[in-house]
Amino acid sequence: MKRAGIFLLFLPAALLAAGVFGIIHDQISYSVSNEYFTKFKFIQFHLLDPSVPERIRAGEVGFLASWWMGIPLGILCGLAGFIQRSPSLMREALIWSLPVIAVFTLTIALTGLSYGWYRTEMIDIAAYRGWFIPHDVTELRRFLCAGYMHNSAYIGGGLSIPVAWLFHLIFKARNLNPFEVRPSPHARSLTSASL
């Protein structure tokens, strides 16, 4: 398959990967604070049907909030694939770049969660003036920590683009194999003659 075709196939794969990442991410953040969803995200995304389980709706929020990140990731990371030496190496590098991006972004999100847990040991509500905090939140620390996690995931998504480019550069360098010894046609004929 030609490089352009691989690139075009990578775009929907990146959209799907971003959406699946959002589902997994929001299952974790729902476990941190279900109120972050019941009193904020479900309202924001108009997912108020009580007949649908909250975990399912949290997954919907995750998908809807993150699938679009697959557009810049797909384009910018997909373009990085063109530096590979062959279409097969391009395809392999792009396939591997998706879990690299996901793991990196999740690591940043969990780092944000940890930072949030540290920052909210003592809560000065004035420091969160720009945040949406419902008046009836019962577990404020958990709510804020989920917010830290979500904000950090977006930062991680943005930073994952240069990380993906770095991955492609490393992948290319590892597949250059400059010390590979290729026998000359003369050496091959000598080997055949000796048999």
192 located within any domain: no
pLDDT of residue 176: 78
63 located within any domain: yes
184 located within any domain: no
pLDDT of residue 177: 61
Domain count, the chain: 1
DSSP H or E segment with residue 123? none
Q: What is the pLDDT along the chain (195 residues), one digit of tens a residue?
A: 799 999 999 999 999 999 999 999 999 999 999 999 999 999 999 999 999 999 999 999 999 999 999 999 999 999 999 999 999 999 999 999 999 999 999 999 999 999 999 999 999 999 999 999 999 999 999 999 999 999 999 999 999 999 999 999 999 999 976 544 445 555 555 445 545
Please give the full DSSP string across 10-55, using - where no structure is assigned. Answer: HHHHHHHHHHHHHHHHHHHHHHH-THHIIIIIHHHTT---TTS-HH
Contacting residues for 192 by C-beta, under 8 A, at least 6 apart:
none
73 located within any domain: yes
CA-based R_g, the chain, Å: 23
Residue 98's domain spans which residues? 3-177
Q: CA quadruple 154, 74, 98, 67: dihedral positive or negative?
A: positive
51 located within any domain: yes
130 located within any domain: yes
pLDDT of residue 105: 98
126 located within any domain: yes
What is the three-class DSSP state of 182? Answer: coil
187 located within any domain: no
pLDDT of residue 183: 53
